Structure 1
Amino acid sequence: MADLENPDVMPKLIAFLSSLLQRAVESNDLNRRLQPQQISVFHGLTRPTISIQSYLERIFKYANCSPSCFVVAYVYLDRFAQRQAALPINSFSVHRLLITSVMVAAKFMDDMYYNNAYYAKVGGISTTEMKFLEVDFLFGLGFRLNVTPTTFHAYCSYLQREMILQQPPVIVAEHSLNLGRSLKAHLCFNEDEPSSHQKQQLAI
């Protein structure tokens, strides 16, 4: 993104990410009725009453992590969804995945960050649950936490382009059951370093 430190950028980014995730959640909730999906520690017994956007705004307000963490957290969610096809992001899991991905991104990216108990309080869950979520998320990612500058800027460019258009893409295409597959179609790669052909596609 052109300037993540610009105070006007983050509210727009959060709104856009919320819209993007909401579309994926709604589609995956519908697919959940048609075929069984695996249940994990990220699934709550009930749907949280707080909206995705309000939850992201709460995390941004209290987590005090760098703006870049939200982009990296988005990368992590994409990777997680690609690797865990049986665990599509739905209304029962999206909030726990969000707080976990931001926490892991902050620990990996920022020089200063809070402990698990603090992030648990921000996320509205117990400290014990936060610890379990972190471990399961790391294994779900295959511990692939590094985000190269090439990957970071590619995701930023994608988000910036879509935000400028003000037309959030339809995230989950027909027959697609998770966020990762559809994002892969838009981003044209799912590894840290895209090939030269993929770089050309990203430049379009």
Structure 2
Amino acid sequence: MEEKIKIASSPYFLNNYIEILSSILRRIVKSNDASPGCDKIVTQFHSETAPSVAIRDYMERILKLTKCEPGSIVLAVIYMLRICRDHSIPLTSLCFHRLFITSVCVSMKYFEDDVYSNKYMAKVGGISTRELSVLERLHLVMLKFSLMMSPIDYGNFCKEAVRLEGQILLDSVPTKGKKGGASELSNAIALIARLLPPNPNASEEKEKEASPAKEKASSASSAEKKEKETEPEEEESEKKAAN
């Protein structure tokens, strides 16, 4: 890794990043779990029943047993949300745990020098070694092997996460004439869109979508040119026939 990504320098973020990120992820999962139709979307990351371990507890368990750097956790969350956004997968309680342990496995291999084996990581995450290896390959393919993130986007993510976590806390406080937690801030799509940098492959996909239209337009214009070019010839032949 050419440029080592540094964790946001804010002492508040450094001391509370697990709580900050888990608070946002809990809100996203809670929103999606309550949304109709989300349970119909099934991937290899989904389990039949939701694990009993809470999101924050699961994140803290992985941090404790792997002693990974804060940057690895942050990148893991970013990778996870990118997959959900780019592949239209709602982050729910059925897929969070497998997605997160796989994301941590990938981010540690990218971000850190010394990493654990997949056998150990699978044990930490509560899945089999074979399953983790399969999910890791799928994870990389879904990210199109794009693991690098600029320090600017990384810093913006951390700052926005702190801001959103603060807003979530304010939103949960009941006020006069308002019920706690009633805000649309819990909307998962809005949260993901605000947290993540632009999709690096979006421009390429738009160009691919636009290319057929461009080809049709160019072929139509070339056909018009040919018609215009043949018109004078037809006029000349008609004049000669008249004479």
**Paired AA for residue 190 in structure 1:** P
Q: What do residues 149-183 of structure 1 show as CA deviations (whole Å, max 9, x unaligned)?
A: 1111111221233456673786553xxxxx5x423
Alpha-carbon distance in 2 for matches of 1:129, 1:122: 13
Aligned length, in residue pairs: 181
Corresponding residue of 1:18: 22
Question: Structure 2 vs 1, CA of residues 90 and 12 (structure 1 numbering), >3 Å: closer, same or farther?
Answer: same
The structure with the largest alpha-carbon Rg is 2
Cα RMSD (Å) of the superposition? Answer: 2.4
Corresponding residue of 2:140: 138
* Bigger proportion of residues as helix: 2
Alpha-carbon distance in 1 for matches of 2:170, 2:141: 30
Alpha-carbon distance in 1 for matches of 2:81, 2:127: 23
Q: CA deviation at 1:9?
A: 4.8
Alpha-carbon distance in 2 for matches of 1:163, 1:2: 17
Corresponding residue of 2:215: none
- Per the normalisation by structure 1, the TM-score is 0.78
Corresponding residue of 2:190: 182
Q: Unmatched 5+ residue regions in structure 1?
A: 174-178, 193-204
The yes-or-no answer on 1:2 pairing with 2:9 is yes
Question: Structure 2 vs 1, CA of residues 182 and 73 (structure 1 numbering), >3 Å: closer, same or farther?
Answer: same
Q: Secondary structure at the match of 2:47?
A: coil
- Per the normalisation by structure 2, the TM-score is 0.67
8 Å Cα contact 2:49/2:94 also seen in 1: yes
Alpha-carbon distance in 2 for matches of 1:19, 1:138: 26
Corresponding residue of 1:55: 58
Alpha-carbon distance in 2 for matches of 1:130, 1:101: 10
Corresponding residue of 2:81: 78
8 Å Cα contact 2:45/2:135 also seen in 1: yes
Q: Superposition pairs for residues 1-204 of structure 1, below 5 Å? A: 1-3=8-10, 9-10=13-14, 12-31=16-35, 33-34=36-37, 37-85=40-88, 87-163=89-165, 167=169, 172-173=186-187, 179=188, 181-187=189-195, 189-191=197-199
Alpha-carbon distance in 2 for matches of 1:72, 1:20: 15
**Paired AA for residue 18 in structure 2:** I
Q: What do residues 104-132 of structure 1 show as CA deviations (whole Å, max 9, x unaligned)?
A: 10000101111111110110111011111
Question: Structure 2 vs 1, CA of residues 36 and 187 (structure 1 numbering), >3 Å: closer, same or farther?
Answer: closer
Alpha-carbon distance in 2 for matches of 1:98, 1:131: 14
Alpha-carbon distance in 2 for matches of 1:97, 1:62: 18
Q: Unmatched 5+ residue regions in structure 2?
A: 1-7, 172-183, 201-243
Alpha-carbon distance in 1 for matches of 2:163, 2:29: 22
Q: CA deviation at 1:35?
A: 5.9
Alpha-carbon distance in 2 for matches of 1:96, 1:188: 20
8 Å Cα contact 1:24/1:171 also seen in 2: no
